[in-house]
Amino acid sequence: MRMKRFMPRQKYIRIFLALCILFALVSIPFVYLITHQFSAYALKQIDKVNRIEVEHAQENAGFVFKKMIGYGLNMYQDKSIQLWLTDRTETPEHQVDAMTAAANYMTTEPFIENIYLFNMRTEHAINLKYGLSTFSGFSDRAALDIARQPRKSYLNFTTYETNGRQKLALVIPTVPSGQQSFGYLVMVMESKLIQQYLLKENRQSGMSSFILDSDGRVMLGSDAEESWYADLAAKASREAGSFTHRYKGELWSVQYARIAPQGWTLFSTAKVEEIRADFDSFRNNMLLFAVSFAVLMLAILFWNSRRTYKPFSQLADQLETKLGSRLNREPSEGPREEYNVLRSGIEILADQVDKLDMSMREHKSVIKTEYLRQWILQGKLIAPIEQVLREHTALLREGNLHVGVLRINEYSLFEERYNFASRKLIKYAIGNIAEEILGRNWSAEAVDLGGDHLAVLLSGRDIAMEELVEAMEEAGKHISRWTRIGVTIAVSGPNAYTDDLKGIYGHIHELTMLKFISGEDKVYLEQDFEAYMARVQPLPDDHLLDELIRRIRMGKPEEVGESLDRIFGPMQTMRYADSKFQLSLILYTLFKTFNKLPSVESVERIESILERFDTLAGIKGWLEQELLEIMGDLSNKKGSSRRDEIVAEIVEYVGTHLHDPMLTIEEISDHVSLSTRYIRQLFKEVFETTLSDYILEQRIGRVKELLETTDWTVTDIGERSGFQTKSNFFTTFKKATGMTPSQYRDNRPSRPS
């Protein structure tokens, strides 16, 4: 009771105080935890990036040193150089030839600073920069000494010091046994250039890299204290790895990798304190931002709770008035009572909506729509379905049959703007508008087949095409007016209801895509397609475009660029008109496949797009950017927030196309614009079964339902459930149920009369 004295009487203040406490307890620790986790993650990523860079530098170093060794061996084996190295007496012609050959080698390799040739018989040396001299007059005594000394290993680089500078050199040949050779070639390397190529140095951020030999001596890199290098060399016990090392009170992160066959080690070091300082600054800024944000949010919550609670109270009063004793209320005080009223009232209303929805599903119009869908997708009627359609629609009672398609323009934006349920409602509204306009003079039925369009079946006696086109245009205007959705319309000529409706529907659906080519806002007829096909020439390599589409769906930008190079390459040798027409076909195919190109959302003539560019390179750059945006959209579409909606769309598409024997996983992946591999994986994660097994289960379920509820023949049921052949139908059904379809029907429960 004492606590109640201190509780404010106003309900919005109680809510505000509770939200304040909750927000304070959650937000600040959450921000601190997130920033801490981010810092730890960032450190790991930096360590990972450094490790990758070290491995890359290791590979580059190995490549450079092997390349220099091979280069030196080729130079040593040159006939002109060999002739001078093995001379017993100095020959001017041989000197000139050797110097010319060595100069040619040196000018083609920037990593070589100088080349020395030593003839041990004549005791003469060639310094490529200064010419010929005797051993006694040779300027680089250290280089002469290392040539005379036997090496511990074969073809390894060595360092020596001359004129206060450390240099890197390769002596060829190297004779480990100590035997003397008639002559030696010494390549003095351009250490600074090699260092710039292999190593990184950023003293401001505390990052540096260098190469040490097994004793901890510097082969390449900046000078530092010998004890620092010795400690690092002692700790690098494996071929590659990482560790932290404290030196003079500072903690360092160290990455290293061996360079074969030299036996050297490449190190990359970074100050941990420098990295953590940036993260600590980031954490403090985030905490300050969280506090400021908390103050702002609490002020907004105070205003919002006061502003919005009264409508909830009014809603609770209305529910109590309407539903009365049906409400399941718990006796309590304050906001809790209103919460129970709202919860119970919404549950009652939701239950009523579910019952209403179930009633609508059982309505005969749903059955009629399902049979119309089967007719369109399978292309022919069976007697039972024809009988039902004759009873519930006038399509089969009079005249010829016309097939129309209403394709939603800018469908990608339509998908982004509305969720799956909203899209179905809007398409339902589009179909109703079309039926109302066209039904004034003829019999019309609209059918949603999933995807970006609806099919319209229309029949009547002596329908003039001019009158039909006029009615279709009026329907398009009304659809745009009432739904704010633009549609592209195409319609067929007269057909008999016994014709292949599936083929006609597919052709008319393809006809709507001509708007992307022509940009004309009109009702498209079959003669428009014939005129287009008269101009079409096949692409030189159709498989290249298929490969490009596959790589887009797989999200591989480098391979997409490669595919574009292969497609655009042959166009450079074409005439302007031919290359322009090939580009039109490519853009048309890409637009049709992905339902958009990002900067061409409002459909216009392809020709006007192409005229923006002066070169093929410009068009290729623009198209590559468009495709990268499509890949980004597909990647976002795979996000967890869209996961359930994608699966729901797949389930709905399978349900509406189950009776189509040509239904494939590839067709489903095209419908949702995702790769077959991804939708298989996603479906397995959600339903714990494969998509193929799910389709088969649904078909078996459809067969059972038709066997139990209809008197159709077993063959008709198999066809209407999507089985391609009678033998496949019987085999699959018996494997799933243990009975043949006829046996299952004989054992079915009796239907209510």
Domains within the chain, CATH numbers bracketed: 10-322+340-356 (no CATH), 360-534 (3.30.70.270), 551-636 (no CATH), 642-747 (1.10.10.60)
Task: Quick: pLDDT tens for 136-153.
Answer: 889 888 888 888 876 655
Task: Quick: pLDDT tens for 582-608.
Answer: 777 777 777 767 665 655 544 455 666
Which of 307-321, 349-363, 708-722 has the weakest average pLDDT? 349-363
pLDDT of residue 555 exceeding 80: no
Q: Percent of the chain at pLDDT above 70?
A: 78
Structure tokens belonging to residue 736:
């799933």
pLDDT of residue 226 exceeding 80: no
Q: In b/e form, how buried is each residue of 266-302, taking b as 16+ CB within 10 angstroms?
A: bbbbbbbeebeeebeeebeebeeebeeebeebeeebb
Which of helix, strand or coil describes residue 236? coil
Task: Quick: pLDDT tens for 185-222.
Answer: 999 998 888 888 888 877 666 678 888 887 778 888 87
Query: How sure is the predictor about 623, in pLDDT bands with cuts at 50, 70 and 90?
Result: confident
The answer to whether the predicted template modeling score (pTM) of the entire model surpasses 0.85 is no
Task: Quick: pLDDT tens for 402-442.
Answer: 999 998 887 777 777 888 888 888 888 998 999 899 888 88
pLDDT in the model for residue 405 = 92
Task: Quick: pLDDT tens for 90-139.
Answer: 888 999 999 999 989 888 888 898 999 999 889 899 999 888 999 888 98
Torsion 729-731-732-735 (CA) sign: positive
CA angle 737, 742, 744 (to 5 degrees): 40
Q: Residues 472, 411: contact at Cβ < 8 Å?
A: no
Which helix (H) or strand (E) covers residue 158, if one does? strand 158-162
Q: Percent of the chain at pLDDT above 90?
A: 6
DSSP conformation letters of 177-212: T----SEEEEEEE-HHHHHHHH--EEGGGTEEEEEE
pLDDT of residue 565 exceeding 60: yes
Q: For the residues 553-567, what does the mean pLDDT come to?
A: 78
Phi, psi (deg, nearest 5) at residue 556 = -120, 90
What's the mean per-residue pLDDT of the chain? Answer: 78
Query: How sure is the predictor about 247, in pLDDT bands with cuts at 50, 70 and 90?
Result: confident
Task: Quick: pLDDT tens for 658-676.
Answer: 878 888 888 888 777 777 8
pLDDT of residue 725 exceeding 50: yes
Query: How sure is the predictor about 753, in pLDDT bands with cuts at 50, 70 and 90?
Result: very low
Task: Quick: pLDDT tens for 290-305.
Answer: 777 777 777 776 777 6
pLDDT in the model for residue 752 = 43
Phi, psi (deg, nearest 5) at residue 558 = -65, -40
The CA radius of gyration of the chain, in Å to the nearest whole number, is 40
pLDDT of residue 21 exceeding 70: yes
Query: How sure is the predictor about 9, in pLDDT bands with cuts at 50, 70 and 90?
Result: very low
| 226, burial (CB in 10 Å: exposed 0-12, middle 13-18, buried 19+) | exposed
**Residue 116: which of 73, 74, 190, 172 has the closest Cα?**
172
pLDDT in the model for residue 603 = 45
Task: Quick: pLDDT tens for 501-552.
Answer: 888 888 888 888 777 666 678 888 888 877 766 665 555 566 777 777 777 7
Query: How sure is the predictor about 4, in pLDDT bands with cuts at 50, 70 and 90?
Result: low
pLDDT in the model for residue 165 = 84
Residue 173 preceded by cis peptide, ω within 30? yes
pLDDT of residue 330 exceeding 50: no
Which helix (H) or strand (E) covers residue 72, if one does? helix 11-76
CA angle 591, 594, 598 (to 5 degrees): 70
